[in-house]
Structure 1
Amino acid sequence: MICAMSDTVAQRNPGLGHSTNRVGRSPDLLASARFNSAPEPLQIHGVREMNPALFTMFEQAESGAEAGEALLSYMQAMFSIDPEQQEAPGGKRPFRSSFLRLLQGWSFNSNGPEGAVLKGWVESRFGIAPSFHKEVLTCMTCPAWQVYTSEKMQSRFHGNAIWTQLDLLYEAAQWVARRFAFPAQSHLTLYRGSNALEEHAILERPSKREAVIRLNNLVSFSSEREVADCFGDKILTVEVPVVKVLSYPGLLPTRLLQGEREFLAIGGAYRVRIDDV
């Protein structure tokens, strides 16, 4: 019965995407289980060339913590998101879109407007469209897609070059991961709790405990299995390519995403192990 239901989901939602992106790899390849099993280096075009000062600071850093401090300082200066820079006459602080606000919003509700902006950034830069936002997204003309599009383009969150901020976050995360956080590692073993597994687009089911599942274009994982246990009656164990990681605990000198040891990673089709809690 599970296999039949899974086939139905996969057939009605074959995966949405685009023909172009900004990393120079086919979106179909990036979203595939083949890429996730054998990843290739990725780089968002132009980010490092346009921000040489940041990467010079990274080269001078002696630890991941020091690199994280440099990243936060650079972002605050570039995008005026330091609290002291936001002071205005009368003591009021104008709202400025920032990657920190998006990460905080995601931690509360990945299907809110902040989550839509983050999924939209993945769609733009990697060519992988979301498969879920509040509900399953089956096509780009359905009402659910219109809701997603409206939220991802909200002016409240879309000012202050927000996607450029996310470009910098991704490239910085990759640099720090290779130098300090996960040197010489191609994959990270991460965990995700899941309910109603049959609602996922299950592309292959070779055994009861193994599957290839299409995950959303941006996904939260935890590095702690005990944490993932709290979020579903099934535990998905996934080998996530380091090149697909956008944010991870310890990258920034903040408490964002720290409590649940949360990793944000680009999604697509992943081979997973399925265990009961």
Structure 2
Amino acid sequence: MVLHDDAVPREHQPSRWYSTNLVGVPAEILGSVAFNAYPQAMHVAGTREANAGLFRLLDAARDQADAADRFAHYMDAVFGLEKPDPGLPRPRERRFRASYLKLLQGWGFDANSPQGAVLKGWVESRFGLTPYFHKAPLERYPSPAWTNYLEEKFGSRFHNNCINMQLDVLYEFCQWSRARFGHPPSQTLWRGTNKLEEQILEGSLRDRRCTMRLNNLVSFSLSAERAGEFGDWVLKAEIPGSKMLFFPGLLNDAVLNAEGEVLVIGGAYVVEIRYG
């Protein structure tokens, strides 16, 4: 069954759960096709000011690889992410420290992992967009699906060491990089999937063009061919750069780069659809 918003009980509509956010754009607008058609720059409130030292370092970067090295050095120093030197005496055991890299790595294995829940929770708190799926549809509250999502979103293993602040800085670095190195305001991307009908808001599969509601954080690919490896249906959409958290080459770490994966803030998107 194709689900349109007017066919879903009002208390189940994710658009009614949109909340306040930290980017200065009302969540209902940010999650709409109108924002995608006329995107604007966004910033997580206070992040650049609180990390002014990082952006002074980045000002001297020669290229993206140099900027990525400077970013990694800053994050290691500020959040204590350095790996111990094998040539030095082993330090006293310390508590596991969550890091943005571990979250990205977990997402790469499974978007419905505990790391994925933390990332979706960050989008929820910063952009005001509520997820509608994590292992199962997030509809009626309370429900087992919502209980599982909340437990994983707030789990201490991946939700310590100022993890939301780390993600704030990652987002701002992504936005700085796109502006500094001449990325376009929007970019055509592709997403492979095997589940479509529950996401359609307007139109139908027969039209091959419709409006779809995507989860609050989703993966896209840089090419249609690569997207086709992840599902029989391939979606094509214009993605605003301001709704990107990660793109291949942003970091020098291998995490997600090999997959050609772009992490995108979700909401409603006009998409073109093809099968196979």
Alignment of 1:85-234 (within 5 A): 92=93, 94-180=95-181, 182=183, 185-200=184-199, 202-205=200-203, 208-234=207-233
1:272 maps onto 2:261 in alignment: no
Q: 2:131 touches 2:216 (CA, 8 Å); kept in 1? A: yes
Mean alpha-carbon deviation: is it higher for 123-132 or for 133-142? 133-142
CA contact (8 A) 1:6 1:199 kept: yes
Q: Normalized against structure 2, the TM-score is what?
A: 0.92
Corresponding residue for residue 11 of structure 1 = 8
Query: Contact 1:245/1:263 (CA < 8 Å) preserved in 2?
Result: yes
TM-score, normalised by the number of residues in structure 1: 0.92
Cα separation, 1, equivalents of 2:105 and 2:242: 22
**Unmatched segments (≥5 aa) in structure 2:** none
Please state how far the C-alpha of 1:69 moved relative to its aligned partner.
Answer: 0.8
**Alignment match, 1:77:** 77
Determine if contact 1:64/1:181 at 8 Å carries over to the other structure.
no
Report the residue type matching 2:202 in the other structure: E
Offset of 1:170 from its aligned partner?
0.2
Q: What percentage of residue pairs aligned between the two structures are identical?
A: 45
> What SS does the corresponding residue of 1:165 show, helix, strand or coil?
helix
Residue 67 of structure 1 corresponds to which residue in structure 2? 67
Q: Give the match's secondary structure for 1:136.
A: coil
Q: Which runs of 5+ in 1 are unaligned?
A: none
- Specify whether residues 187 and 252 from structure 1 end up closer, same or farther in structure 2 by C-alpha distance, changes over 3 A only: same
Secondary structure, counterpart of 2:254 in structure 1:
coil
Question: Alpha-carbon deviation of 1:58?
Answer: 1.2
SS in structure 2 at match of 1:211: strand
Q: Residues 239-250 of structure 1: matches in 2 within 5 Å? A: 239-250=238-249
SS in 2 for 1:239: strand
The DSSP-based 3-state class of the residue aligned with 1:6 is: coil
Task: Provide Cα deviations, 1:52-96, integer angstroms capped at 9, x if missing partner.
Answer: 110011111111111111111100110111102899856756411
Shift of 1:31: 0.7
* Separation (CA, whole Å) in 1 of partners of 2:141 and 2:80: 35
Partner of 2:139: helix, strand, or coil?
A: coil
- Distance in 2 (alpha carbons) for counterparts of 1:246 and 1:8: 27
The SS at the match of 1:123 is helix
1: distance between equivalents of 2:125 and 2:180? 27
Give the Cα separation in 2 of the matches to 1:88 and 1:20: 48
Shift of 1:180: 1.1
Worse-superposed segment, 122-131 or 55-64: 55-64
Residues 237 and 272 in structure 2, CA contact (< 8 A), matched pair in contact too: yes
Change (3 A) 1:90 1:254: closer
Q: Residues of 2 paired with 1:115 and 1:10: CA distance? A: 29
Distance in structure 2 (CA, Å) of the matches to 1:74 and 1:205: 47
Question: In structure 2, do the counterparts of structure 1 residues 132 and 88 end up closer, same or farther at CA, with 3 Å as the change threshold?
Answer: farther
1:229-276 deviation digits (Å, cap 9, x = unpaired): 111111100111000000111011111111220000100000000011
Shift of 1:7: 3.2
Structure 1's consecutive aligned runs of 4 or more residues displaced over 6 angstroms after TM superposition are 85-88
- Distance change >3 Å, CA 9–CA 162, structure 1 → 2: farther
Q: How many residues were matched structurally?
A: 271
